[in-house]
Chains A and B, each alone.
Chain A
Amino acid sequence: MLELQVNGKAYRVDVDPTTPLLWVLRDGLDLIGTKFGCGVGACGACTVLMDGQAMRSCVVPVSAVAGKAVTTIEGLSNDGSHPVQQAWLAESVPQCGYCQSGMMLAAVALLKHKPQPTDADIDTAMTNICRCGTYNRIRRAIHAAARRNLYV
């Protein structure tokens, strides 16, 4: 039995400790906003925050997050009001939307670390893949969230 802390709630899960966190979140805790994209940490659709840092949950065994605070898209806000979510809406970023949970969490981690990121900072931090080609809108949304000084 493993103890997890996800979105401020404590969970006890009975799974093989080598199971990737992604599948525990999705199939165990019904937090389906975190997506499966590649299974090898290459696309970032499964990005969640672990103690505020972005990480790809498809390659992190659930045992590695014991004692850490995990945040998924569902934990960003109760009502879609997180500044990054609002910026995503204002820029109409999502198309198919499948990668966007991971994108938003990667952006939250970036803005926490660099409240006023440059384009180069965004290029370095935002390595998730979007097949719909929403990158320029993502960039604009990150700058818009930053301009409002919401993280300062």
Chain B
Amino acid sequence: MSSPVQAGACVLNRREFIHSAASVGGGLLLAFGWPVGRLEAEQNIPTTRSPSAFLEIGTDGTITVTSPAVEMGQGGHTAMPMILIEELGGDWNRVQVKDAPAGVVYNNPVFHQQSTVGSFSVRGWYAELRRIGATAREMLLQAAAADWDVPAGELNAANSVISHPTSGRSCHFGSVASMAARLPVPQHPTLKSSVDFNLIGTSPRRVELSKKIDGSARYGIDVTLPNMLYAAIKMSPTLSGTLKSFDDSAAQRAAGYRATVPLPDGMIVIADSYWQARQALAQVNVEYAPGKLAGVDSPQISQILRAAFTEPGAVVRSEGDAPAVLARLPNTLEAVYEVPYLAHACMEPMNCTANIDAAGCEVWCGTQAPQGAQQAAASVLKIPIEQVRVHTQYLGGGFGRRGESDFVVQAVMAAKAVGRPVKLIWSREEDIQHDYYRPAAAIRFRAALDGEKRLSALECVVVTSSAPTRIGAGPAFYTGSIADSNYSYAVPNFRVTGLDKDLGVRFGFWRSVNESHNPFMLEGFIDEIAHHLQQDPYQFRRSLLQHGRGRRQLAVLDLAAEKAGWRNRRAGHALGIAAFEAFGSFIATVADISMKGPEIRLHRVVTAIDCGVAIHPDNIQAQLEGGMVYGLTAALRGQITLANGAVEQTNFTDYRMLTMAEMPRVECHVLPSTEAPGGIGEPGTAPIAPALANAIYAATGNRLRSLPLSSHGLTYSAQRT
């Protein structure tokens, strides 16, 4: 049983300035104001901007919540308001949700960027949104209490109705909203006890869902402005290529042609319609200087990664003395794992609409990083960021790709060139061939087993790409949960080293980020150790979790194993298991397969997760299942390969996605928990690859240490019966 907690104790200083004001309609408006905290001050962010609203309660009772998380299918527009409305005691059916504009007040309280990334929205905003909701509730109650001349402590708020049980009086939020707006803002509102939650933990229909069944949801690609032109783009096939010369004389004669906009690395053609722009673009002859990736093929990338294992790297974790133990103990194991580049392939190709006017610039796009889009536009036009207004639209998939702003830069350049609004749409080919790829990565593992057949030492050398200019860069980041001191498995001598290799291929964040490669490799190697010790892989993992911080991991491991029938597998079936902590959640997955020659027949995927307080259980199910599909697709056949510095894959024809017929049965079990919320968008992506590879080993004795599985000559089918 938890007791009410004081919100003030767990929030950052910069957020202790909730402002209150009358809304345009006279209702209550709560906003975050200034001064800003240390981080923003260090970044010289101007403090003159007006407060930005999070919550407005109209005199008609309408509740408008500005979501600091964008909506890309992950449920941010529902989960964020749910947290606030829970504390407010508002009527969920009166809630409207808006996307936040670009603004520092919408920076995630945990990592200080306005980015919907890293499964961080609920994790980062849980405490803040509760505090805002509780603040507004107390102000509304104060207003009603003053009106009725009774103590505020005798009033309740539920479903937007304030009631006074003693007298039987009640009123609606809307009727006291303007009075509440004139009251002082309580600085330490009392939060609800979690046992009193009646919205958190339920699964109301996601707020935008009705717009996603009738075609009315507006994505970036759907933006239409008066007087708008359309732009098509083609970039240098060689990833490092730069524009040398071009001849657009034929394009200029094409129907609807308006302008050619040469880019440093490509070409934009603008026309009256998108189809005309594409047709005209196809008639431009372009010559590129291929740059440093000329002659680079994928096998060389692999060689570079593997050659780096013996180079000195950054030691990001060192407990005990793994090198000494490895040198001393005779019973050792060594293995190298590797994964390729991957593209995101959001269903909605990259796009952005831009317009430049006397006041500055407006951009419309699906973006995970509104301030990134703002800065990108400002940098092209060399104007202050305050003069760029970003209108975030629904995202037809994000997965990390829309945290980048390359398409914003291009759209603004196009709009600048013609002095009219321009909508730029990438082709699917450009999307596949000019992504910010999940970087190729490799790990060399070494393990030493002691005389008691225990894992005494584990050494991991992680080689991948990282860039010092970006958030989350560097070995401590990409080694992720392996290097985290909370890493669940107990290993007395543990050393993790990271090595950066800039291979010249641009890379970025791909759903589950570093966990898209580390768990495949580490959970594969842990499986190898178990088999080497002739132990059951599930029981071996259990043995590594018999300590305090392993408690939550152990619980999900047990649950997944139990639900998958680890002890009573069906005849002819093989099970593979993988478990780890990621994004603040603990997850375990079991893949249930059989093999028919080279065909992996996937019967069932069983996942268990402890993601702390479950905000919207149905959405957690959807995210775990969807995340699994994203990981399964990559594990089976996902790879971006280079030939002469150019991406070989072109479209969904050769970068193939999982289909309905290939969709396995999926079970997701969510552990009841009162812990702080963990992430749910990404944890589900990572465990399927190791679970599947471990199941294949169990079935065949063949240890697969690289992805995709198709590169080992394996085929795949889903068996739902």
Which residues of A line the B interface, CB within 8 A?
15-16, 19-20, 23, 27-28, 30-40, 42-43, 45, 72-74, 76-77, 79-80, 85, 88-89, 92-101, 104, 119, 122-124, 126-139
Interface string of B385-411 (1 = CB under 8 A from A): 000000000111111000000000000
Contact partners of B395 in chain A: CB under 8 A: 96
Q: Which residue of A lies closest to B208 (CB)?
A: A97
Contacts A27-B273, A97-B73; is A85 near B214 (CB within 8 Å)?
A: yes
Please report the C-alpha to C-alpha distance between residue A106 and residue B389 in the assembled complex, in whole angstroms. 38
Q: How far, in whole Å, are A35 and B395 apart by their CA atoms in the complex?
A: 13
Q: Across the interface, do A133 and B658 meet the contact criterion of CB distance under 8 Å? A: yes
A85 and B210 CA atoms in complex are apart in Å by 9
Q: Which 10 A-B pairs have the closest CB atoms?
A: A33-B215, A133-B629, A98-B396, A96-B73, A95-B73, A97-B212, A133-B626, A73-B215, A123-B661, A135-B663
Q: Are B275 and A136 in contact (CB under 8 A)?
A: no
Taking the complex as formed, is B622 at the interface, i.e. its CB lies under 8 A from any CB of chain A?
A: yes
Nearest chain B residue, comparing its CB with the CB of A129: B657
**Of the candidates B275, B394, B618, which one forms a contact with A19 in the assembled complex, judged by CB atoms under 8 Å apart?**
B275
Interface-located stretch among B92-100, B118-126, B218-226, B322-330: B218-226
13 extra A-B contacts, CB within 8 A, seeds A92-B206, A94-B73, A130-B347: A23-B273, A23-B274, A28-B273, A40-B428, A80-B210, A80-B213, A85-B213, A95-B75, A96-B73, A97-B396, A133-B628, A135-B663, A139-B663
In-complex Cβ contact of B230 among A27, A72, A94, A122 (8 A): A27
Q: In angstroms, how far is the closest chain B Cβ from the Cβ of A89?
A: 6
> Across the two chains, which residue of chain B brings its CB closest to A58?
B428
* Complex Cα gap A94–B398 (Å): 14
Contact B657 A98, beta carbon cutoff 8 Å: no
List residues of chain A with CB within 8 A of the CB of B628: 133
For A96, the chain B residues whose CB sits under 8 A away are: 72-73, 346-348, 394-398
Can you show 10 pairs from A to B with CB atoms below 8 A apart? A16-B255, A32-B215, A35-B221, A79-B214, A92-B205, A98-B348, A123-B660, A123-B661, A129-B652, A129-B659
Please measure, in the bound complex, the distance between the C-alpha atom of A119 and the C-alpha atom of B210, giving whole angstroms: 26
Given contacts A27-B274, A35-B221, A43-B347, contact A94 B657 (CB under 8 A): no
Does A132 contact B73, Cβ atoms closer than 8 Å? yes
Docked-complex contact B660 and A42, CB < 8 angstroms: no
What A residues does B720 contact at CB under 8 A?
119
Contact yes or no, A134 B274, CB < 8 A: no
Which residues of the partner chain B approach A122 to less than 8 Å between Cβ atoms? Answer: 660
Question: Which B residues touch A16, using CB under 8 A?
Answer: 255, 275-276
Please report the C-alpha to C-alpha distance between residue A99 and residue B660 in the assembled complex, in whole angstroms. Answer: 13
Q: Are A97 and B660 in contact (CB under 8 A)?
A: no
**Does residue B625 face the partner (Cβ distance < 8 Å to A)?**
yes
Q: By CB atoms of chain B within 10 A, which of A43, A76, A99 has the most?
A: A43
Q: Are B206 and A98 in contact (CB under 8 A)?
A: no
Check A129/B347 contact, CB under 8 A, given A16-B255, A34-B215, A100-B212. yes
A134 surroundings in chain B (CB, below 8 A): 622, 626
In the bound assembly, the distance between CA atoms of A39 and B214 in angstroms comes to: 22
A105–B230 CA distance with the chains assembled, in angstroms: 27
Q: Which residue of A39, A92, A124 is within 8 Å of B428 (Cβ)? A: A39
Q: In the docked arrangement, what's the CA distance between A133 and B665, Å?
A: 12
In the complex, which residue of chain A has the Cβ closest to the Cβ of B219?
A: A98
Closest beta carbon of chain A to B630's beta carbon, Å: 6
Interface residues of B in 194-241 (CB under 8 A from A): 203, 205-206, 208-219, 221-222, 224, 230
The prevalent SS among residues of B at the interface is loop
Within 8 A of A (CB), among B609-663: 618-619, 622-623, 625-630, 651-653, 657-661, 663
Per DSSP, are chain A's interface residues mostly helix, strand or loop, or mixed?
loop
**Known contacts A89-B213, A100-B213; is A135 also within 8 Å of B629 by CB?**
yes
**Contact A72-B651, Cβ < 8 Å, known A27-B274, A96-B394, A122-B660:** no
Contact B622 A88 (CB under 8 A): no
Contact present for A89 and B348 (CB under 8 Å)? no
- Chain B residues whose CB sits within 8 angstroms of the CB of A40 once the complex forms: 428, 651-653
B345 at interface by CB-CB < 8 Å: yes
Q: Does B260 contact A (CB under 8 A)?
A: no
Complex Cα spacing A137 to B622, Å: 9
- B409 to A: closest C-beta gap in Å: 21
Q: Name the B residues within 8 Å of A130 (CB-CB).
A: 347
* Chain B interface (Cβ < 8 Å from any Cβ of A): 72-75, 203, 205-206, 208-219, 221-222, 224, 230, 255, 273-276, 345-349, 394-399, 425, 427-429, 618-619, 622-623, 625-630, 651-653, 657-661, 663, 665-666, 720
Contacts of B218 in A (CB 8 A): 32
- When C-beta atoms are compared, the residue in chain B nearest to A16 turns out to be B255
Which partner residue on chain B sits nearest A80 by CB separation?
B214
With both chains docked as a complex, state the minimum distance between the C-beta of A15 and any C-beta of chain B, in angstroms. Answer: 8
Q: CB distance A74 to B214 under 8 Å?
A: yes
Cβ B347 vs Cβ A45 within 8 A: yes
* Distance to closest chain A CB from B135 (angstroms): 31
Chain A residues with Cβ below 8 Å from B72 are 96
Q: Please measure, in the bound complex, the distance between the C-alpha atom of A130 and the C-alpha atom of B397, giving whole angstroms.
A: 10
- Given A27-B230, A99-B347, A132-B397, A36:B425 Cβ within 8 A: yes
Q: How many Å lie between the Cα of A137 and that of B629 in the bound state?
A: 13
If the complex has contacts A20-B275, A96-B396, A98-B348, are A126 and B213 also in contact, measured as CB distance less than 8 A?
no
Choose among B213, B230, B661, B663 the residue that contacts A88 (Cβ–Cβ < 8 A). B213
Report the bound CA distance from A36 to B73 in whole Å.
Answer: 18
- Of A23, A39, A80, A135, the contact of B427 (CB 8 Å cutoff): A39
Q: Which residues of chain B are within 8 angstroms of A89 by Cβ–Cβ distance? A: 205, 209-210, 213
Give bound CA distance, A80 to B210, whole Å.
8
Give chain A residues whose Cβ lies under 8 Å from the Cβ of B217. 97
Chain A residues within an 8 Å CB radius of B622: 92, 95, 134, 137
Residues of chain A lying within 8 A (CB to CB) of residue B206: 92
Given the known interface contacts A95-B626, A123-B661, the answer about A36 and B349 at a Cβ–Cβ threshold of 8 Å is: yes
Report A-chain residues with C-beta under 8 Å of the C-beta of B273. Answer: 15, 19, 23, 27-28
> A49 to nearest B CB, angstroms?
13
Contact B396 A133 (CB under 8 A): no
Instruction: Decide: B347 and A35 in contact? CB cutoff 8 A.
Output: yes
Q: Are A131 and B657 in touch, CB under 8 angstroms?
A: yes
Q: Which chain B residue lies CB-closest to A75?
A: B215
A97 touches which of B203, B394, B429, B658 (Cβ 8 Å): B394
CB of A72 within 8 A of CB of B347, answer no
Partner of B626, one of A19, A36, A132: A132
Pick the contact of B627: A104, A128, A133 (CB < 8 A): A133
A18 to B652 alpha-carbon distance, docked (Å) = 23
The minimal Cβ–Cβ distance linking B142 to chain A, given in whole angstroms, is: 38
Q: For residue B717, give the distance in angstroms from its CB to the closest CB of chain A.
A: 10
Q: Are B626 and A138 in contact (CB under 8 A)?
A: no
User: A94, B221: Cβ atoms under 8 Å?
Assistant: no
List of A residues within 8 angstroms of B630 by Cβ: 131, 133
In this complex, what residue of B is CB-closest to A101? B215
Contacts of B665 in A (CB 8 A): 136
Contacts of B347 in A (CB 8 A): 35, 37, 43, 45, 96, 98-99, 129-132
Cβ–Cβ < 8 Å partners of A30 in chain B: 224
**Residues of chain B contacted by A104 (CB below 8 angstroms):** 213
Q: How far is the CA of A109 from the CA of B86 in the complex (A)?
A: 42
By beta carbon, the residue of chain B nearest A120 is B661
Which residue of the partner chain A has the closest CB to B632? A133
Q: Which residue of B has the minimal Cβ distance to A42?
A: B652
Q: How far is the CB of A127 from chain B (nearest CB, A)?
A: 6
CB distance from B719 to the nearest CB of A (A): 11
Contacts of B625 in A (CB 8 A): 133, 136
Q: Which residues of A contact B214 (CB under 8 A)?
A: 33, 73-74, 76-77, 79-80, 85
Residue pair A94, B212 in contact (C-beta under 8 Å): yes
